[in-house]
Amino acid sequence: MVSSVVREALGGRAVIGVGVAVPGPVDEATGVTSPINLPVLHGFPLRSLIAEVAGEEHVEFRRDGVALALGEHWLGAGRGVSALLAVTVSTGIGGGVLIGGRALGGNAGHIGQIEVSGLTGGDCLGRTTMLESVASGPHIVEWARAQGFSGTSGEELAIAYAAGDPLAASAVARCAEAVGQAIGSALALVPVDVVSVGGGFSRVADDLVSRIGEVVAAHPLPYVAATPVLPAGLGADAPLVGAAALVYRSSLLPRVGSS
């Protein structure tokens, strides 16, 4: 399956490099990923297989959050800044960080596994208080259904929110609170110039990102509260642009194995 996708993408064309953005955690040194939601790939030598099929030595194999941050810095909401936190809210929640104009590699920026205060949700790695277990798309819908919401998907939740449904409004508020809390905690540790928020579920409400920004703006640390929270600039193309950025912006990546 992977081999056929790579061959189809190449289409017999010569390339200058291959960017591979994968869900984490990752081991960049071995080219292996262990996706939280895709155990079948745990321990699979994905980078080696892609390099073999592509016939290409230059394969940038990085966590998808790293690729997202590079893409947003290149062509999205982070253009022109030297420090950026990029967050994606979707089936899972991930992120990546640039500091001093350079990306942090490996698993830095894995914001979905930050604990949030006073909120519990579904199961993520056996924990119910992680950002992803509380605020990812499926877990927000699951929470809304437990409160009486009749829909079964993020799309239905979005329609209900736009129509003024109070349960949908509560679900969106819960998502904004959890994501805002996590971003505030991350910024307290590593300040940045801009936070970009994207991903499919970030579009469940037209004001979700601004509401996340309001939570961040209420943080007691002034340097955290002053950080702009903006909608991601790449939209649905973020994964592809991020993968391309791994090649075209590879000078901003740490060498594999370096700190």
Alpha carbons within 13 angstroms on the beta-carbon side of residue 221 total 14
Q: Is the pLDDT of residue 1 over 90?
A: no
Asked whether the beta carbons of 233 and 71 are under 8 A apart, the reply is: no
pLDDT at 13: 82
Measure the CA–CA gap between 122 and 221, rounded to whole angstroms. Answer: 30
Which segment of 10-14, 139-143, 239-243 scores lowest on mean pLDDT?
Answer: 10-14
For residue 259, what pLDDT is reported? 42
> Is there a contact between 94 and 111 (Cβ–Cβ < 8 Å)?
yes
Task: Specify the pLDDT at position 187.
Answer: 98
Residue 79 has a pLDDT of 96
Spatial distance between the Cα atoms of 10 and 18, rounded to a whole number of angstroms:
10
Predicted confidence (pLDDT) at residue 37 exceeds the cutoff of 90: no
**pLDDT above 90 for 227:** yes
Nearest to 246 by CA among 34, 89, 66: 66
Q: What percent of the chain has pLDDT over 70?
A: 97
Q: Does pLDDT of 146 surpass 70?
A: yes
Domains of the chain: 2-65+238-252 (no CATH), 80-232 (3.30.420.40)
Helices (H) and strands (E) in the chain, counts: 10, 9
Buried b (16+ CB within 10 A) or exposed e, 214-233: ebbeebeeeebeebebbbbb
224 alpha carbon, distance to own chain's centre:
20
Residue 32: CB atoms within 10 Å: 19
Average pLDDT, the chain: 93
Describe the crossing of helices 166-189 and 208-217 by its angle, rounded to 10 degrees. Answer: 50
Half-sphere exposure of 255 (CA within 13 A, CB side): 2
Cα distances from 40 to residues 35, 92, 93, in angstroms, run 9, 17, 20
Regarding pTM above 0.85, the answer is: yes
Looking at residue 192, its amino acid is V
**Distance, CA of 81 to CA of 74 (rounded, Å):** 10
SS3 228: coil
Query: Span 168-176, mean pLDDT?
Result: 98
**Residue 239 pLDDT more than 70?**
yes
pLDDT at 63: 95
Residue 193 has pLDDT above 50, yes or no: yes
Give rounded-to-5 percent helix, strand, coil for the chain. Answer: 45, 15, 40
